[in-house]
Structure 1
C-alpha cells in the first residue's frame, strides 16, 4: 500500500517537462545574437584568408630580396599547410575536451604573435619557420565555424553558413588591394604587420560570444549552458522552452577512435576523400591561375599550342632566380579571379537547401572537373580568365558545402575533432597541388588538367554515395538521437 501511494509521485516526476539544447535553440529562434555571432565569428574568415593568401602576394618580393629559386618559394606555402595539418588535429581534440571558445581565442593569439614576428624575419629560413607557426595558429580558426553551427537553428544553417564565404572573399580581396599599395611603397614587412591587425582586433571582441551551449551540456555543465541560452533568449527578445534542461552527459569526448566507429566509418572515409579532393582542386586552380595568367600564356591560332607573348619573360623563367614583381595588371587579374569565389554563392545556397548537401556537392565537384578540362580549349586571354573565374566559383562552392556537411554529420562530442582531422587531411591535397600545377603542368599541360579533373570526379562519386543526408536534420548530441536519449533518461528515473 505504501508503494502504491508513492507511485503517483514517481509518475509526476517522470512527466515533468524537459527540453534539450537543440530544442532550446529552435525555440529561441534567429535574432540579434545570431547576427552578432555571424559578424564576429564570420570575421575569422577575413583573418584566415589574409594570412593564407599573404604568401601569394609576398612571394615575388621575397624571391628577389633573398634570391630564391622556385622550389624555395614553393616550400613556404607547403610548410604553412604542413603546420596547419599538424595543429588542426591537435586543436580539434583540445576543442572537444576543453571548449571551442578557448581554442579559438588561443589560436588567434598564437597566429597574431607569430605573424608579427614574421615581419622581422632576418633570413629565408626564419621566414619559413615563422610562417609555419602562423599556419598552426590559423588551423584553430575553424572553431569559429563550429560555434556558429552549434548556435544556429536548423533551418538557418543552410543559409547563414554559406554566406560566410563573403568574409573569406573580403579577406582575399583586402590582402590583394593592400599588397598593390604597400609592396611597391613601404615594403612587404609592413604588409605582414597590417595583415595581422584584423586578428588582433577580433581578440578584443571575442568576449561578446559565449562558449557553445552544446559543448557545455555535453561535458555536464548544464548550469553554464542554461545561463548562455537564457542570455541569448533575452538578447533575441524571445522565450525559453518550459521545463528543465536535461541532456545526457558524454564523458568520452574528442577520441580519434570514435570517428572509426562502425556507425560513422564509411561517412568518415568518404568525407576525407572529399576534403582531399576539394583542397587539391582549390589550391591547384589558384596555382594554375598564377602559371597561366602571370606568364601571359595564350593559345596560338596557328599551331594550337600555348606560346609566350613576350620573349623577355621566357628568358627570365630560365634564370635560376626569376625576379619578376607584380605589375598593377597582375593584381587586377588576381582581383578578378578571386571575385569568382562569390559568383555562385546564391545558387550554392539554393542547392544546399533544396537539393541537399550531397547532391549539391556532387554537382559542383562535377562542374569543377568539366571546367578544368575546358582550360585546354584554345581560346583568347579573356576566355581563359572566364574559365578561371568559373573554376574559382565552383571550388569555393565545394568548400562551402563540405564545411557545412562535416559540422552537421557528427555529434557534439566529436564535431570539432571530425572537422579538425578533415581540415588537417585536406592540407595534404594543398601540399600536393603545387607539384602538379607548377611542375607537371610545365611538362604536360593536358596531363595535369586530366589529373585534376579525375580527382574531382572521384570526389563527386564519393559525395553522391555519402550514406547520410544532413539537410533539415537537427545537430546530433551523441551516438543516439536526442529524442531516444530523453526517453531513456525518463525511463531510468
Structure 2
C-alpha cells in the first residue's frame, strides 16, 4: 500500500491517539503511552495518511549516512571516555607535583563526576527543548576547552575547579549523544547500532591508556615555563582535550538535527529535509528518487508553547518560578504511571553500576602501583610521602602497560554485545553482566598475586562493559522522545552522585582498609544485577 500523500495538504491534523494506544514489550508490559507524546497523526488508510517516525526512517534506508553518523557520534562518545578516564592515568605522577594525599586524589577523581552531575540533567532538559545538535556542540566545546586549560593550572584547587567545569560539558554530551543517535536508526537495527556506538567508549579508554603509556613516562615532555614546572602528565591532559574539540567541530560541519526531535517540535519541513539527506546518502548510486510524503508532527511548536506559558506570568519571580516548574516537569512525568516502576528500577541500577564501575576503575592504576610492592591490591603497604617528589619518578612504565591491557580487555565484551543485543535483549545482558562483574570484583579481593589481580581486572573490564552497553540501549528505548534526553540526563546525574561517593570512599580507605570499598563494589553490582530483572524487555521496540 502506498504511503505517499498529497504535498498540497495544508489543513491541521486532529489528534486521534488516545491513552488506550499503547506500545507493548515482548513480555506484554506497557512501555509507555503514546498520549504522553506531543505527536499527532492521521490514522486512516488512504493517501492522506502521514508517516510515523519509524515509517519515515525506514523509507530513508540504511547505509552510508548511518555509518557516517556512527563514526561522528562514536568519536564524541570516545572523547567523553578520554576526558573522564585521563585523571586515573595521571594520578601516579600528578600526586607528587600537586602534592596530593589519597583523600585529595579522591576529590580529584570525584570532581569531574560532580560536574557531570550538575550538567547532566540541565543539558538533557535543554536537548529535549531546544534540540540535540546544539547541546552537543556546546557541551563538547566546554568539555575540551576547560580540560585543556586545566593542564596549565599550577595549584591543586584550580586544577580541581577546571576539571569540575570540564565535567559539566561531559555531563551534557553523554546522555544526549545516545538520544540523538537512536533517533536516526531503524527499529530492527537499533540494538546493534547503539551497541556499536557504545563500543567507542572502549576506543576512548584504549586511546587514553595508550596516550598515558606513550607520553607520561617520557622525560622529553618535561620543561619549565618559569611559573610552572610542565611535567609530561600535563601534556597528556592537553592531548586528552583534542577529541572533544574535534568532535564539536564535526557536529557543527556535518551533522543535522534529529528528525525525531524536529517531528516532535512540529518542524515538518526540516524533518523531511533531514530524511532527504539520509536517503540521498544511503541510496547513492542506486538511481532512486526520494519519495514524497508528509509526517506525523507535534500539534504546536515548543517555542510557541513556552512563549504562551511565559506570558501568563508577570513579575521576574513568577517567571523564574515558571522556568523552574517547567524544568522539573520531566522528572515528575518520569515518576508517574506508567513510567514510575521502570524509573525507580533504573535509578537503582544507575547508582549501583556507577558506584561499582567508576569507584573501582578510577583507582585501578593506584591499585596496580600498590601491587608493585605488596603483591595483592589490598596488601598493607606504606606509601611514600606525597611531598617527596622522587617517590613518583622514574615513572613505572609497567603500571601504564597494565592499564592499557585492562582497557583493551573491553574488546571481547563489546563484540559480544553487538552480536547478541538484538537477539537476546538488553535486559538479560544487563542483569547477567552485573552479576558476573560482582563475582570478579569479589575474587580481586581474594587473590594474592599481581598476575591473578591483573587477570581478574581484565575479566571485570570485559564483562562490565556489556552491562554499560545494554544499559545504553535499554535507556533509550524506555522513554518517549520528549522525555528521552531528560531521563538519561537525570539517571546519569544519579550515576555521578554514586561515582563521587565511590571515589571518595576509595580515597579515604584505599591505604588503610581497601577491602571495604572493594567488597562494597561487589555487593552493589550484585544488587544492580538482581534489580535489572524487574525491567521490561525492550527488544526491537519502536521509538515514540
If the length of structure 2 is used for normalisation, what is the TM-score? Answer: 0.78
**Residue 323 of structure 2 corresponds to which residue in structure 1?**
none
Distance (Å, rounded) in 2 between the aligned partners of 1:170 and 1:56: 16
Distance (Å, rounded) in 1 between the aligned partners of 2:523 and 2:206: 30
> What is the DSSP-based 3-state SS (H/G/I as helix, E as strand, rest coil) of the residue aligned with 2:100?
coil
Tell me, yes or no, if structure 1 residue 114 matches structure 2 residue 123. no
**Residue 462 of structure 1 corresponds to which residue in structure 2?**
531
**Residue 383 of structure 2 corresponds to which residue in structure 1?**
316
**Residue 490 of structure 1 corresponds to which residue in structure 2?**
none
Alignment gaps of 5+ in structure 1: 1-9, 309-313, 477-493
1:284–1:433: 8 Å Cα contact kept in structure 2? yes
**Residue 476 of structure 2 corresponds to which residue in structure 1?**
407
> What is the DSSP-based 3-state SS (H/G/I as helix, E as strand, rest coil) of the residue aligned with 1:475?
coil
Distance (Å, rounded) in 2 between the aligned partners of 1:12 and 1:172: 50
CA 1:67–1:289 in 2, change beyond 3 Å: closer, same or farther? closer
Distance (Å, rounded) in 1 between the aligned partners of 2:542 and 2:43: 29
Q: Which has the higher helix share?
A: 1
1:18–1:242: 8 Å Cα contact kept in structure 2? no
**Residue 416 of structure 2 corresponds to which residue in structure 1?**
347
1:375–1:384: 8 Å Cα contact kept in structure 2? yes
Q: Which shows bigger deviation, 195-204 or 47-56? A: 195-204
Report 1:57-456 matches (<5 A).
57-142=89-174, 143-183=176-216, 184=218, 185-186=220-221, 187-206=232-251, 207-237=253-283, 243-249=293-299, 251=302, 255-296=330-371, 307=379, 314-317=381-384, 323-325=391-393, 326-440=395-509, 442-456=511-525
> What is the DSSP-based 3-state SS (H/G/I as helix, E as strand, rest coil) of the residue aligned with 1:244?
coil
1:382-439 per-position Cα deviation (integer Å, ceiling 9, x unaligned)? 2221111010112211111111111111100111101111111101111111244344
Q: Considering only aligned residues, what root-mean-square deviation do their CA atoms show, in Å? A: 2.7
1:87-136 per-position Cα deviation (integer Å, ceiling 9, x unaligned)? 11100110000000000011122122212221221311111111111001
> What is the DSSP-based 3-state SS (H/G/I as helix, E as strand, rest coil) of the residue aligned with 1:376?
helix
CA 1:17–1:375 in 2, change beyond 3 Å: closer, same or farther? same
1:449-482 per-position Cα deviation (integer Å, ceiling 9, x unaligned)? 432222112211221011x221011111xxxxxx
1:285-337 per-position Cα deviation (integer Å, ceiling 9, x unaligned)? 3145334321126988xxx99657xxxxx443466668425411111010011
If the length of structure 1 is used for normalisation, what is the TM-score? Answer: 0.86
Displacement of 1:241:
5.7
Distance (Å, rounded) in 2 between the aligned partners of 1:114 and 1:441: 29
**Residue 317 of structure 2 corresponds to which residue in structure 1?**
none
**Residue 20 of structure 2 corresponds to which residue in structure 1?**
none
CA 1:37–1:280 in 2, change beyond 3 Å: closer, same or farther? same
Count of matched residue pairs: 458
CA 1:233–1:327 in 2, change beyond 3 Å: closer, same or farther? same
> What is the DSSP-based 3-state SS (H/G/I as helix, E as strand, rest coil) of the residue aligned with 1:245?
coil
Q: Which shows bigger deviation, 364-373 or 235-244? A: 235-244
> What is the DSSP-based 3-state SS (H/G/I as helix, E as strand, rest coil) of the residue aligned with 1:274?
helix
1:24–1:240: 8 Å Cα contact kept in structure 2? no
1:358-380 per-position Cα deviation (integer Å, ceiling 9, x unaligned)? 11111111111111222233353
1:24–1:241: 8 Å Cα contact kept in structure 2? no
**Residue 39 of structure 2 corresponds to which residue in structure 1?**
none
Distance (Å, rounded) in 1 between the aligned partners of 2:439 and 2:400: 27
Displacement of 1:341:
1.7
CA 1:203–1:135 in 2, change beyond 3 Å: closer, same or farther? same
1:162-218 per-position Cα deviation (integer Å, ceiling 9, x unaligned)? 122432222222222223333333123322222222222223221211000000110
Displacement of 1:443:
4.7
Tell me, yes or no, if structure 1 residue 46 matches structure 2 residue 96. no
1:96–1:416: 8 Å Cα contact kept in structure 2? yes
CA 1:37–1:379 in 2, change beyond 3 Å: closer, same or farther? same
CA 1:200–1:306 in 2, change beyond 3 Å: closer, same or farther? closer
2:87–2:362: 8 Å Cα contact kept in structure 1? no
